[in-house]
Amino acid sequence: MADKKKRRRPADPDSDSIPFKSKLKPDSVILQALKALAAAESTPSASTNPLTLADLSLSQACREVSDLPLSSVQSTIESLVLSLTHSILSGQGLSFSVPSRSSANQLYVPELDRIVLKDKSSLRPYANVSTVRKTTITARILQLIHQLCLKSIHVTKRDLFYTDVKLFQDQTQSDAVLDDVSCILGCTRSSLNVIAAEKGVVVGRLIFSDNGDLIDCTKMGMGGKAIPPNIDRVGDMQSDALFILLVEKDAAYIRLAEDRFYNRFPCIIITAKGQPDVATRLFLRKLKTELKVPVLALVDSDPYGLKILSVYGCGSKNMSYDSANLTTPDIKWLGIRPSDLDKYNIPEQCRLPMTEQDIKTGKDLLEEDFVKKNPGWVEELNLMVKTKQKAEIQALSSFGFQYLSEVYLPLKLQQEDWL
């Protein structure tokens, strides 16, 4: 019936006054550019096998961990305990040799474009007042991991903390020792069967299986599908996406999901809602590796947005021992960039003055090797520090709530404006 027919949304009378909307070309033109980008990404490189740390002759010894089956983790713990027992019986006492994860023991490798851990270790003896408690925590964590191996189950980091609250006192302490244990055993943290609570979400042109259940991410509503904390559950990825859009903030993600941006420009939208967690980093790497599509990043125009981008691309110093599994190479910085503030006429009332800490963080980033490698990043960071201005993605809402999905991103894609 006539009154039940789907009505078209009336044309926006102010569409001509929306900044830069008149510069947009038809979607078909933008899609052609995206198809060319996706084709270039999927073209096999000269070397079919990616470069690894073992392929390089570095002047300094470095260490990396690997994915191990539960049986290997269990046998490694048992061998370690036998070694410790022998040390105690021989009168040398109980002491763990723990790889140092301090900043001084980190190394950026340009050939790999990621941070790795150097091969320096320190002793953690029980018979020392300054280390006795941490040694006890280390032994307790090893005991709990061994139980997980025997039962072949997963627990969250929070579960692990609550097994001995009086000893651990604070979850940050048990979490830190958990990373130490990964280094000691030479395995990834996911090999320990300890996972973090679900945080990241994904929506868009992706179908995958989660523990045998088929998930269609176009039918997950605007909330999207929570990224499984255990990457081993994920398989059978299928997609017709031309790119992956990595979004820093939940608010921007919701805007794009509600507007179904992924249907206008076939893509997969993913966010960790701020600081990237391990599950989201593993999921992003798996997406890019299996689907062979480019990754474009949308972050705030501030030093912390760039730091978040660098964690996805080059790794975090805290988990540099596992950077081979957690980093996604060649992420392109789409926006919001410091040069965009003037380029898109972001109103002054939507720009924020950088604090002294912001400026210090920006200057510290300029000293990082992974930033120096990219002249475009250096130029943008220098501009940010010079102008002392920052802006969030939501600053674009001053032109309209849907300006991000209807004008800014399409124009960025049209102009292939990424670094």
The single-letter code of the amino acid at 368 is E
Provide the total of helices (H) and of strands (E) in the chain, helices listed first: 17, 18
- Which is catalytic among the residues 108, 162, 304, 344? 162
Q: Is 304 a catalytic residue?
A: no
Report the b/e string of 386-414 with b at 16+ CB within 10 A: eeebbbbbbbbbebbebbbbbbbbbbbbb
Known binding residue 356? Answer is: no
Half-sphere exposure in the Cβ direction for 46 (13 Å, CA): 0
3-state helix, strand, coil in the chain (%, to 5): 50, 15, 35
Pairing of strands 155-156, 194-195: parallel
* Residue listed under structure tokens 């176009």: 218
In this structure, what DSSP letter does residue 187 have? B
402: left (phi over 0), alpha (psi -120 to 50) or beta: alpha
- Which stretches within 69-228 are classed as H helix? 70-89, 132-151, 157-162, 165-168, 171-185
List the one residue out of 15, 109, 11, 94 whose CA is nearest residue 57.
Answer: 109
Strand partners, 258: none
Q: How far is CA 392 from CA 11, 49, 150, 314, 404, in A?
A: 29, 39, 47, 23, 12
The Cα 219–Cα 260 span in angstroms is: 11
The single-letter code of the amino acid at 120 is K
Contact 165, 56 (CB under 8 A): no
Q: How far is CA 283 from CA 126, 148, 246, 310, in A?
A: 38, 23, 12, 16
Q: How far is CA 149 from CA 33, 66, 71, 73, in A?
A: 49, 17, 7, 7
- Reading the block at residue 161, the tokens are 């903390």
Q: What are phi and psi of 109, to 5 degrees?
A: -105, 105
Known binding residue 210? Answer is: no
Which residues sit in the known binding site for Mg(2+)?
248, 300
Which residues sit in the known binding site?
248, 300
Catalytic residues: 162
